[in-house]
Amino acid sequence: MRTNQLGPSDLHVSEIGLGCMSLRGSDRENADTLHRAVELGVNFFDTADLYDHGQNEVTLGKALKGLRDKVVIASKVGNRWREDGSGWDWDPSKAYIEASVHQSLKRLGTDHLDLYQLHGGTIDDPIDETIEAFEELVQEGWIRYYGISSIRPNVIREYLKRSNIVSVMMQYSLLDRRPEESAFELLHRHGVGVIVRGPVAKGLLAGKPPKAYLEHDQDEVAHAQSLLKACDKPNRSSAQSALLFALAQPAVATLVPGASSLAQLEENAAAANAPALSEAELERLREGVTAHIYRQHR
User: What three-state secondary structure class fits 247?
Assistant: helix
- Say whether pLDDT at 108 is over 80: yes
DSSP 251: T
What pLDDT, on the 0 to 100 scale, is given for residue 80? 86
* CATH classification of the domain holding 82: 3.20.20.100
Q: For residue range 188-204, what is the model confidence (pLDDT) as tens digits?
A: 999 999 999 999 999 99
Evaluate whether residue 298 is within a structural domain: no
DSSP 262: H
DSSP 195: E
Q: For residue range 49-88, what is the model confidence (pLDDT) as tens digits?
A: 999 999 999 999 999 999 999 999 999 999 888 888 788 8
Evaluate whether residue 146 is within a structural domain: yes
- The single-letter code of the amino acid at 225 is Q
What pLDDT, on the 0 to 100 scale, is given for residue 279? 97
What pLDDT, on the 0 to 100 scale, is given for residue 40? 98
**Domain tally, the chain:** 1
Evaluate whether residue 297 is within a structural domain: no
Average pLDDT, the chain: 96
Beta strands in the chain (DSSP E): 3-5, 12-14, 18-19, 44-46, 72-77, 79-81, 88-90, 113-118, 143-149, 167-171, 193-197, 252-255
Evaluate whether residue 115 is within a structural domain: yes
Q: What is the distance between the alpha carbons of residues 218 and 26, in angstroms, rounded to a whole number? A: 35
Q: For residue range 39-48, what is the model confidence (pLDDT) as tens digits?
A: 999 999 999 9
Write out the residue range of the structural domain in which residue 145 sits: 3-288
Q: For residue range 200-237, what is the model confidence (pLDDT) as tens digits?
A: 999 999 999 999 999 999 999 999 999 999 999 999 99
- Say whether pLDDT at 182 is over 90: no
What pLDDT, on the 0 to 100 scale, is given for residue 259? 93
Residues catalogued as catalytic: 51
297 Rama class: left (phi>0) / alpha (psi -120 to 50) / beta = left
Average pLDDT for residues 155-160, to the nearest whole number? Answer: 97
Average pLDDT for residues 135-142, to the nearest whole number? Answer: 98
Average pLDDT for residues 124-129, to the nearest whole number? Answer: 97
Average pLDDT for residues 146-168, to the nearest whole number? Answer: 97
- Angle at alpha carbon of residue 225, lines to 221 and 228, rounded to 5°: 140
